Copies of this chain bind each other. A is one copy, B any other.
Amino acid sequence: MDREILVEKLQGIVGKNGVFTRPADLLVYEYDGSVDGAVETATPSAVALPTTAEQIADIVILAREAGLPVVARGAGTGLSGGAVPQQGGIIISLTRMNRVLEIDREDRTALVEPGVINLELSEETLPHGFFFAPDPSSQKACTIGGNVAENSGGPHCLKYGVTTNHVLGLEIVLPDGRIVWTGGRSAGVSGYDLTGAMVGSEGMLGIVTKALVRLTPSPESTLVLLAPFADIESASHATSRIIAAGIVPAALEMMDNLTIQAVEPAYHAGYPMDAGAVLLIEIDGSTDDVRGTGVEIAALCVESGATEVRSATERAERDLLWKGRKMALGAMGRLAPNYYLHDTVVPRSKLPATLRRVEEISRDFDLPIANVFHAGDGNLHPLMLFDRRVNGSTERVLEASKEIITYCVDVGGALSGEHGIGTEKRGYMTLVYTADDLAAMAGLKNSFDPTGMFNPEKLFPKGYMCGEVRALRMQAMAQKLGIHAL
């Protein structure tokens, strides 16, 4: 289809001011929050900004006629390249679908459009006594639709679970233009859990146009503890002891010395500059319970070698302690011009050994690595600091990443805790999955999107989806049945 005709038709669907086509406008949509140079990208043909599910269905059908891929996009804060248009095509930006349609206090649910900003949903529901629990560090900017696509987490997911635990139902536009509803308005589900299959599918199976999400009651009381340790080892040990004691803190975050060096001078959160690591622990619940658990955790920290334990209950004090953690990425600019943030998970019991290995890799590759992460659920976030302008530095970072990822998988971990696979980690999927495992996933993709039109070149290893899937399945089957080609 001629580009001019395409644009005209898009304008017919979403109106003139709902389509971006100028090169300067399109440039922005080639990127997301992932590291430039680590992810392939391409210029989209056009960006459409629909306001209804019906408009999205019409855009999808138009894209199909034009033979163009479709990439859905929220705020573009993703770190794995999930919203990057690797083969161009039409970008569907969901930022104009940003209404909270309904808050149901008694049923503790909210019906929202995909472009609603994560933090704004919590702000809107707080007066009703509720909040939306998943809280990615980008929560001031990222959207619920993006959270659903990546199954996003955040510090408080230790206690409250990730996005999939908070989505009850979804309205979705499928690759054939149909609009379907998955799940229910109440606790029960009828039939296959399509909502579960959709959450975390990275925009490859459908485009979310409405989400019915669970709201969580605001706790009566919240306590934040800061415990500095001489080294990472003893902070890890304290983490293990807290969890093994059966305590479930709302959040349990660790920052190492390098992170403190970046953060403390910037925000004066009160982290001791000479600490090898600090733990930031939040507990919430009833006032009595919080007080009791706080004392228990403090004792475990001191027994594990904490040099002191500071506590904050007032909002302003708590926010200050958290500020250093939440703004850690922003502060890294003080240490190096660029950073590459990884997201891998290891079984909690493997944390100390994994952190030692990360330190070795840092030495081997002569690459400073800051660690600021969700210790409570074993979700590492090694931050590699570098300068892109130095020749070969990006390549070195990617090499070091490979070492880290391989190690984490070897000790029984996962490729991603909350950032998704996207295009960043597709090459690593075979580390975790066999050909048969991947074929099962590809079968799911094929059932929703047989032509591979939604968000191509994501999640599956390169070359994997180009018609090879059926061949692979047949081959596996033939092997299993003992059928051999003559």
Q: Which residues of A175-195 have CB atoms within 8 Å of chain B's CB atoms?
A: 176-182, 184-194
Docked complex Cα distance between A181 and B378 (Å): 21
Which residues 410-443 in A have Cβ within 8 Å of B in the complex? 412-418, 421, 425, 429, 432-434, 436-441, 443
Nearest CB in chain B: distance from A71 CB, A: 17
Interface size on A, residues (CB 8 A): 93
Whether B193 pairs with A164 at a CB distance below 8 angstroms is yes
Closest to A186 in B: B345
Q: How far is the CA of A246 from the CA of B473 in the complex (A)?
A: 50
How many copies of this chain are found per oligomer? 2
Q: What residue in chain B is nearest A474 (Cβ atoms)?
A: B176
Q: Which residue of B lies closest to A161 (CB)?
A: B165
Is there an interface contact between B188 and A437, defined as CB atoms closer than 8 Å?
no
Contact A345 B184 (CB under 8 A): yes
Which residues does chain B contribute within 8 Å of A164, judged by CB atoms? 193, 196
Give Cα distance in the complex from A425 to B193, angstroms.
Answer: 16
CA distance A266 to B243 in the complex (A): 42
Quick check: A186 and B347 within 8 Å, CB to CB? Answer: yes
Asked if B178 contacts A444 (CB within 8 A), the reply is: no
Q: A177-B481, A289-B285, A447-B447 are in contact. Are A418 and B199 (CB under 8 A)?
A: no
A372 to chain B, nearest CB (A): 17
Q: Give chain A interface residues in 289-333, CB to chain B under 8 Å.
A: 289, 292-293
- CB contact between A415 and one of B61, B104, B188, B201 (< 8 Å): that residue: B188
Chain B nearest CB from A331 CB (Å) reads: 25
Give 14 CB contacts A-B under 8 Å. A105-B244, A181-B437, A184-B345, A184-B412, A185-B414, A186-B414, A188-B416, A190-B415, A191-B459, A217-B247, A217-B248, A286-B289, A288-B292, A443-B448
